[in-house]
Structure 1
Amino acid sequence: MKNLYIAEKPSVARQFADVLGVKGNAGNGYLESDKAIVTWCVGHLITMSYPDAYDPALKKWDLATIPFIPTEYKYEILPNTKKQFNIVAGLLNREDVGCIYVATDSGREGEYIYRLVDSMAQVSGKEKRRVWIDSQTEEEILRGIREAKPLSEYDSLSDAAYLRAQEDYLMGINFSRALSLKFSNVVQRYLGMDRCVIAVGRVMTCVLGIVVKREREIREFVKTPFYRLVASVGEEGQTFDAEWKAVKDTKYFESPLLYKENGFKERADAEKLLAELNEGAPEAVAESVERKKEKKQPPMLYNLAELQNDCSALFKISPSDTLKIVQELYEKKLVTYPRTDARVLSTAVAKEIGRNISGLKNFQPVAAWAQGAMDSGTYKGIAKTKYVNDKQITDHYAIIPTGQGFGALKSLAPTALKVYEIICRRFLSIFYPAAEYQKVAMTLTKNGEKLFANFKYLISEGYLKVSANSFSKKKDEPKYSQEFIERLANVKKGDKLSVQSIEIKEGETSPPKRYNSGSLILTMENAGQFIEDEDLREQIKGAGIGTSATRDGIITKLETNKYISLNKKTQIVTPTFLGEIIYDIVYYSINGLLRADLTASWEKGLEGVAEGQISKEEYTQKMTTYVTQYTNRVKQIQNQGGITGVFNKTKAYYAKSGVNQAKKSTDAKGSANVDKSAEPKQRQTADKKDA
């Protein structure tokens, strides 16, 4: 009897085949030896069927046929993957196959991909084992095969995967049809479009809500000017800032002239105080001096969201591009599994971490730091630090370099090489000491008023020398000379310090910043921040919007639907006029779809199913009740024509060309892809995971 190994992608299958010594013609859709067969899916081979597969009458969108909630879901083979499915199905059912090793990606979506194939192929009477690995090195693949558990141990994860797909399907089908039937004609007439589909989804619409809410906060923000007084204290060329504040027992304490305690509402009042402060000798007396050392620990390791955020800032690339790059690094054995939410290592991997460090001596940009980490031996105690915590790991530990695969470095594009470098530097940083700063806080008195100085300077680089990227601009010279630092160290209460100048600095309050693609990913990951209720926030702690595997796809889908705009150069995300219109429609009909806390709670529920804490039946009941209730609520709406007054409030912020662009893009999408836009499911390219 032979073992059959089934991977998610051809590239991964080749890695398994190399490790197992299986050769052959990959053009057959599999590789075979006398002991083993290796085959692959190409991403999703199976998809959920559209409603008309249940009843041809359901092809027409009609309020009378929704809510549509199947008692048993139908699936079908994707047309462009039918050949590979037939190959895989045939191998799964071969009489000489004794044990099936499931080696699809180690996560919820990977589980779903195989289970669909297994069900459609009607596999029975075979031993099935699950290979769960964190990298594609030879050692890890062999360990995964050796320690493979019965597939049945992952049934709860499979339940969660099916429920996630069903939830997205039900909300996409029912809510998109209901809202389109009620509001599409309104939007068509308003924008002068030929066709319009209102596409909504459990995660997609929530993210749209985050972007639109931020844009509206920025619009509604009223800037307030204020005028501060800042003194330059020290000696020419070597000074520190000391800011005036109105504190108790001083002239302006709680004065109505102030904007907060450190500034005036009017410049004239600031100028009056400036004249008062400039009277007499240009000196201030130290009333109090406090010194404190501050340590800055190395940051936690990268998970996918943190890496996507940094790559957006450093390289101005989208989360989708970052995932493609880190997936390539993973498949070339350079880094561990990318689709992870964890920022720590497991106890097991910590015991062997010396191999990862030692291997990096072969990567020139960090070779010296790898050698230093090995020489210091700090890695031996890493398990006792905050960087190792089994409780914070669900599927996979953080993204770290494997210390292998260096033959592939020459094939990497320049940006991919830089991404690899920042992963290596973040990893090596945890084996170096904290950076250390000297913090100084002074209170100075001049002419009866108080000046406050708070500053710090670096006294020990620690890990910072490791984390400085080779491609970054040269660091600025230290702000203070060593001689000046030594003089500062001797300043004590009662000393007089020279005031070089006092200036009025005009400022204004700032609106919230727009999201960029990276910060939006982090916001999706940390959706709990939007929850005001402490108990609820604690209850869904750790739950985000979407998963590490799907968040980039959500942003891409919103951009494809022309609901948001992503600036390719800056990666700044803004809503389109059409996106704001969709937001308003959802807000006045199913506003729960816009709530990050509610969406995060759905995700937390799926985690509960995966962990066996919530039954499949309980979750299904909650899900179908929600879909039924809100679909029926939309069906009862009668005053949809009045919503154009809401649209008008937004219209003023978009140039006519912007409205025309929304019209043009939506016309094309609506006429060509009505079903795909409105009823999101796994009908994407075969080698990509769902969003």
Structure 2
Amino acid sequence: MAVLILAEKPSVAQDIAKAFARTLKRDRTHYVVRDPDLLNGEETIITWGYGHLLELKMPEEYDPRLKEWSFQGLPIFPARFEYRPIPKTRQQLQAIRGFVQSGKISRVILATDADREGHLLGILILRYAGWKGPILRFWTSEALTPEVVRRVLQRELRNNDEFRHLYAEGLARQHADWLYGINLTRALTLAADASHPQTPPQRSCRNVYSIGRCQTAVLAILAQREEQIARFVPQPYWLVSARTPWGEAYVVPCPALKNIPELRTSSPTAEETEEETETDPPEHDGSARNRSGTSAPFRFAREEDARATAQTIARLGSARVVSVNRRKQIVPPPRLFSLSELQSEANKLYGFSARKTLDLAQSLYETHKMISYPRTSCPYMASSNANKLARSLKMVGVPDPGQALKRAWSRLINDKAVAEASHHAIVVERLQSAAGKELSPDERKLFELIKARMRAAVDEPAVQETLEVRLRCGDYELVLKRTVLVSPGWKRHYPPGRVPQTAQLKADIRPGRTVSLENVRTERKQTEPPPRYTEGTLVSIMKNAWRLVKDPRLREILKEARGIGTDATRDQIIETLKTRGYVVSRGKTLAVSPKGMACYEAACRLKLSAADPATTAVWEKELAAIGRGQASYDRFVNGIKKLVKTEVDRIVQAVRNQTLNLPSAPTAAPTRSRAPRGRRSLRRQTTRRFRKASSNDR
């Protein structure tokens, strides 16, 4: 008898095989290995998938009549979901099936990725292959060095029954996304066709309006920003400032300006949205009296008022110090990296896309064995990993790692968070490639970023000091505000390659002192529209999508669900939007195409739940309950069926009432060489794309 180990991909199978003393056979579908100290010395077959080897069947495979898209066939609810082999990996699936049905396998060890999707695809493969015997689970976040593999195989294999609820969660997610995506995509595309019943045959290359729980929510976020930009009307305003011995001071709201109009702003500006914040930007009510005492510069709506104020201050020529406020701010060190945070930082510092960052991190993990498992949503370590973290800290150059870890314990160690995420934060596991290869320049950049983050995470807090001096010149008030870095702390290490500049604020500033005001001037400025998202800021807002929701209850749900998508899938969601023609890259930013705006506007008009970021939060909360054994697959999927029927009916009614007007054909004619031959050809293309991308909409 033999043991069968199923890995998720060939590289993982190779890593596991290296841990065995002898390799008896190696071919294109499996290894045969043996080791007297592993698995009772039994012969072991190590085989692999290529990620998913199976995909859900499409509607026409349940019923040939569903090959033609029509409202009469909706909604589509299979009595039982069925799977089919992915054509390009069919041979590998047949090999696995051959091992399972050979009668020589005593038990199976499942070594697919240690997360919801990895567990799902592994169990689906084994069930399709016909395995009914015992399954043990190989589960670790560490890089698969021979030492780690041997330790897990010898002492840490887990009973697969522990993960039965995780399988139900993965199945519910996959089936619900199929139900929603297939039905709503067909319904909205048919609605576009119905909007243009006289479309000539030569223009039968129609737009397919793909809808999905995650992709449509992210499209809505991007489209809402496009609407803000389109509505934005630049407005000029003027500031008045004067130079003091300690720096530039600006005129601020005060009673003297109570009758002077101030620029009103009611939409986010570029300055206000440069960093996505938890609260909405404040509105200015135009009353200086209401804002009297604030330190924000007064934004004059009229140039003549600004000039008159500047002339008065210049004529007076001096001001008295009214108050001096010094405030020290402790800036705590950052936490260790989760994947989303790594993607955001790599985009901000190096311009890497979310997909590129994940690919580089996977290479550092799989090929070079230099970092831990990267597809993690958790920025913490478990207390059981404390010794491992201390070794890693020593590796990256922390002088006294034990003491440093003790000091940072409450910020770095969180057993509950690690248990919920199944994986700990991304940490360094070795300094040289296990493959003996040189890192590429971009791999090196990302690796150094992770090293720097680890050093920063256990260092002292940084200390900033803010000086605010309020001056009175006649009836006017001016404020000088400066912030300097007093003690760099962790900023000595992060971001890498930057040397923080420290300074000390002047100590000779006292209330009652009179100072001269020089170079009094007006400065014309203009409000700017909110910026488009970069991939880095989009990943961040996807993770913190609760900030976009006003309902307090839904905000909390979205917080608990950790946003839209998962750390392992957010890059795929962005790529899906690009592939489907909804989003295009403009330099470092993402813009919504006309097709994307049409889809978003239709989804809003029809009140489709997918256009609301809160929807995915509600789904994920219910899915997590299934994963904990606190909810059932049947109840969740039946609820999704009711939702799908309601929304399909709403689209049908809109078509009957002729309240939709969606473009059914591309605005630019496709080239002859790339145009499909007709509607069926396009539908076949769309089916293939849906199969490829549907697993990403989670």
Alignment partners' CA distance in 2, 1:456 and 1:579: 43
Match of 2:21 in 1: 21
With 418-427 and 403-412 compared, the bigger mean Cα shift is at 403-412
Identify which of 611, 614, 621 aligns with 2:631. Answer: 614
Q: Residue in 1 aligned with 2:582?
A: 563
- Residue 474 of structure 2 is matched in structure 1 by 447
> Which residue does the alignment assign to 1:654?
none
1:243 aligns with 250
Q: Is 1:515–1:573's contact at 8 Å kept on the other side of the alignment?
A: yes
Distance in 1 of aligned mates of 2:673 and 2:309 = 58
Relative distance call for 1:427 and 1:93 in structure 2 (3 A) is farther
Whole-Å Cα distance in 1 between the matches of residues 541 and 672 of structure 2? 31
Distance 1:684 1:271, change over 3 A: closer
What residue identity is the alignment partner of 1:563?
A: Y
Change (3 A) 1:284 1:47: same
Name the SS for the 1:15 alignment partner.
Answer: helix
Matched, 1:527 2:537: no
Secondary structure of the 2:464 match is strand
Partners of 1:353 and 1:187 lie apart in 2 by 62
1:379 aligns with 2:405: yes
Could you say what secondary structure the match of 2:465 adopts?
strand
Q: Which residue of 2 aligns with 1:6?
A: 6
> Which residue is 1:367 aligned to?
none
1:261-300 equivalent positions in 2, closer than 5 A: 261=288, 262-280=298-316, 282-300=317-335
Alignment map for 1:403-552 (pairs within 5 Å): 403-408=430-435, 410-470=437-497, 485=505, 488-543=506-561, 544-552=563-571
- 1:467 counterpart SS class: coil
Distance (Å, rounded) in 1 between the aligned partners of 2:508 and 2:133: 82
Of 386, 390, 395, which residue of structure 2 is paired with 1:354?
390
Cα distance per residue 1:214-245 (max 9 Å; x no partner)? 101111122232211122221xxxx4222211
Q: Secondary structure at the match of 1:411?
A: coil
Shift of 1:443: 1.0
Q: In 2 relative to 1, CA 187–415 (structure 1 residues): closer, same or farther, beyond 3 Å?
A: farther
Does 1:66 find its partner at 2:77?
no
Measure, in 2, the Cα distance between the counterparts of 1:184 and 1:321: 37
Q: Deviations over 1:425-462 (max 9, x none)?
A: 11111111011122212111222321112212112111
Query: 5+ residue gaps in structure 1?
Result: 361-369, 652-657
Please, what TM-score do these two structures have when normalized by structure 1? 0.88
Q: Are the structure 2 counterparts of residues 133 and 265 from structure 1 closer, same or farther at C-alpha, using a change threshold of 3 Å?
A: closer
Give 2:205's match in structure 1, choosing from 179, 195, 198.
195
Q: CA deviation at 1:676?
A: 5.0
Shift of 1:323: 0.9
**Aligned residue type for 2:235:** T
Give the distance between the partners of 2:644 and 2:485, measured in 1 at CA: 57
Do the aligned residues in 1 keep the contact of 2:13 with 2:46 (CA within 8 Å)? yes
Residue type of the alignment partner of 1:39: T
* Alpha-carbon distance in 2 for matches of 1:555, 1:609: 27
Structure 1 residues 297 and 381: CA distance shift in structure 2, 3 A: closer
Shift in CA distance, 619/306, structure 1 to aligned 2, threshold 3 Å:
same
TM-score if structure 2 supplies the norm length? 0.87
Distance 2:150 2:305 in 1: 75
Decide whether the 8 Å contact of 1:47 with 1:75 is kept in 2. yes
Equivalent pair of 1:102/1:130 in contact (CA under 8 Å): yes
**Cα distance in 2 for residues equivalent to 1:359 and 1:476:** 24
Q: Secondary structure at the match of 2:376?
A: coil
- 1:459-492 deviation line (CA, Å, top 9, x unaligned): 211111111423x6xx5866x6x6xx4xx11211
1:364 counterpart residue number: none
Q: Aligned runs of 1:114-129 on 2, under 5 Å? A: 114-129=122-137
Question: Structure 1 residues 404, 613: CA separation in 2 closer, same or farther (over 3 Å shift)?
Answer: farther
Show the 5 A alignment for 1:223-242: 223-234=234-245, 239-242=246-249
Give the superposed CA RMSD.
2.9
Q: For residues 184 and 693 of structure 2, what CA distance do their matches in structure 1 show?
A: 20
| Count of residues paired in the alignment | 651
Distance 1:162 1:425 in 2: 39
Bigger drift between 201-210 and 262-271 goes to 201-210
Q: CA deviation at 1:581?
A: 1.5
- Kept after mapping to 1: 8 A contact 2:251/2:477: yes
Alpha carbons of structure 1 residues 468 and 616: separation in structure 2 relative to 1, 3 Å: closer
SS in structure 1 at match of 2:329? strand
Once the two structures are TM-superposed, the CA of residue 628 in structure 1 deviates from its matched residue by 1.8
| 8 Å CA contact retained: 1:133, 1:141 | no
Quote the Cα distance in structure 1 between the aligned partners of 2:621 and 2:674: 34
1:447 aligned partner, one-letter code = G
Secondary structure at the counterpart of residue 451 of structure 2: helix
Contact residue 104 and residue 111 of structure 1 kept, 8 A: yes
Question: What's the offset of the Cα at 1:97?
Answer: 2.5
Q: 1:599 to 1:257 in 2, by over 3 A?
A: closer
Amino acid at match of 1:242: A
Partner residue of 2:161 out of 145, 152, 155: 152
Give the conservation status (yes or no) of the 8 Å contact 1:684–1:690. yes
- Aligned-partner Cα distance in 2 for 1:527–1:258: 30
- 1:530-679 pair list within 5 angstroms: 530-543=548-561, 544-567=563-586, 570-639=587-656, 641-644=658-661, 659-660=667-668, 672-677=681-686
- 477 and 683 in structure 1: CA distance in 2 versus 1, 3 angstrom threshold: closer
Distance (whole Å) between structure 1 residues aligned to residue 669 and residue 248 of structure 2: 50
Amino acid at match of 2:241: V
Whether the 8 Å CA contact 1:172–1:678 is kept in 2: the answer is: no
Query: What is the distance in 2 between the residues matched to 1:468 and 1:625?
Result: 49
Aligned runs of 1:8-407 on 2, under 5 Å? 8-34=8-34, 35=42, 36-145=44-153, 146-184=155-193, 186=195, 193-196=203-206, 197-234=208-245, 239-247=246-254, 250-253=255-258, 255-256=260-261, 260=286, 261=288, 262-280=298-316, 282-331=317-366, 332-360=368-396, 370-374=397-401, 377-383=403-409, 385-393=410-418, 394-407=421-434
Matches of 2:679 and 2:429, distance apart in 1: 46
Once the two structures are TM-superposed, the CA of residue 565 in structure 1 deviates from its matched residue by 0.5
Q: Distance in 2 between matches of 1:593 and 1:518?
A: 22
Contact 2:488 2:500 in 1 (8 A): no
How far apart are 1:254 and its partner, in Å?
5.4
AA paired with 2:636? Y
1:365-410 alpha-carbon deviations (Å, 9 max, x no partner): xxxxx14354x83124433x22221222322111121235445584
Distance 1:84 1:203, change over 3 A: same
Q: Which whole-Å CA distance do the structure 2 matches of 1:391 and 1:233 have between them?
A: 53
Alpha carbons 2:175, 2:637 under 8 Å: kept: no
